[in-house]
Amino acid sequence: MLCFVFAALIVALDQFFKQWVMRTLEIGETGQDIIPGVIGLTRWENDGAMLNILSGQQWLLAAIALAAAIVLIMILLRYNEGFWGTLGLSAVLGGTVGNLVDRIFNDGKVVDMFKTQFIDFPIFNFADIFITLGFLTFLVHFIMITIKTESREKAAEEHAGDEYYDEYDDEYSDEYSDEYSDEYDEQDNDEFAEIDSAVAARSEQELHQEDQYQYTEQASYDRDTQYYEETEVQDEYDSTDDLSSDVPLSLEALEMELGSLDDYNVDDLLREYGLNDDDESYL
């Protein structure tokens, strides 16, 4: 993992400068200034912790450093709260292991080399710098995460039940997903599958109903069209034009239809309307 590579680079850098100082300067000897008036080089060996805490308890401090390194490794193996938090913990791990190497291989003493010139401050080394900066980075990141989490939870409570709730919930889920995400995804997929099946069945039923409705409407339309066509034909029908009609007419009916019969040949009329001279019921 990259966090352990970063920690290993810190250990290598810290040990390189410590070995260089031990070869170049004697204990208590001051070297050239790194930044004039700000910081310079002075070799010193500290048998305590930072700020000379627990001075003379070298092996107790070594045991504490070893336990701290193990705890940090376990945390980093499980930690997934963001880049800056991981970077800070990695820096603390690298500095802790760097000083632990000194206590194991330098008779329980840590080699320091940086001396501030603008203020009276204990001499320190690269490992101390990375421990301090790493701790501050992780602390700031932890505070920001806490504030952001509380803000989202409060916003989710305020907007519960409205259109903004899904937005906050999605953002929170994307940043704080855990090992149960696969289980929730599988459960959601099952629910969505059931919903899709129900929607498909309902759509098929509605389509069938629509087809039946269209068929009924078409049949009704066809019946209405046939009725109006038949009515129109009946309205346009004129019995006087239907000379081949099989319905016999009486002379009175012919006279009503044609007016006076003086201008017509009775025999011709009877012949055209299917009558004969023997049928006295029409005379």
- Indicate if 241 belongs to the active site: no
What span, in angstroms and rounded, lies between the C-alpha atoms of 149 and 155?
Answer: 10
- Pairing type for strands 30-35 and 39-46 reads antiparallel
**Contact assessment for residue 117 and residue 6, using Cβ atoms and an 8 Å cutoff:** no
The structure tokens listed for 77 are: 């193996």
What span, in angstroms and rounded, lies between the C-alpha atoms of 29 and 44?
Answer: 8
- Indicate if 279 belongs to the active site: no
| Residue of 128, 166, 211, 267 marked catalytic | 128
Q: Given CA atoms 266, 268, 270, 272 in this order, what sign does their dihedral have? A: negative
The structure tokens listed for 87 are: 């970077």
The structure tokens listed for 108 are: 């329980």
The structure tokens listed for 242 are: 């239907």
| Residue of 33, 47, 112, 238 marked catalytic | 112
What span, in angstroms and rounded, lies between the C-alpha atoms of 176 and 178?
Answer: 6
- Coil/strand/helix, residue 31: strand
- Coil/strand/helix, residue 264: coil
String of DSSP letters for 146-212 = HHHHHHHHHHHHHTTTSTTHHHHHHHHHHHS--TTHHHHHHHHHHHHHHHHHHHHHHHHHHHHHHHH
* Amino acid, single-letter form, for residue 81: E
Residues with active-site annotation: 112, 128
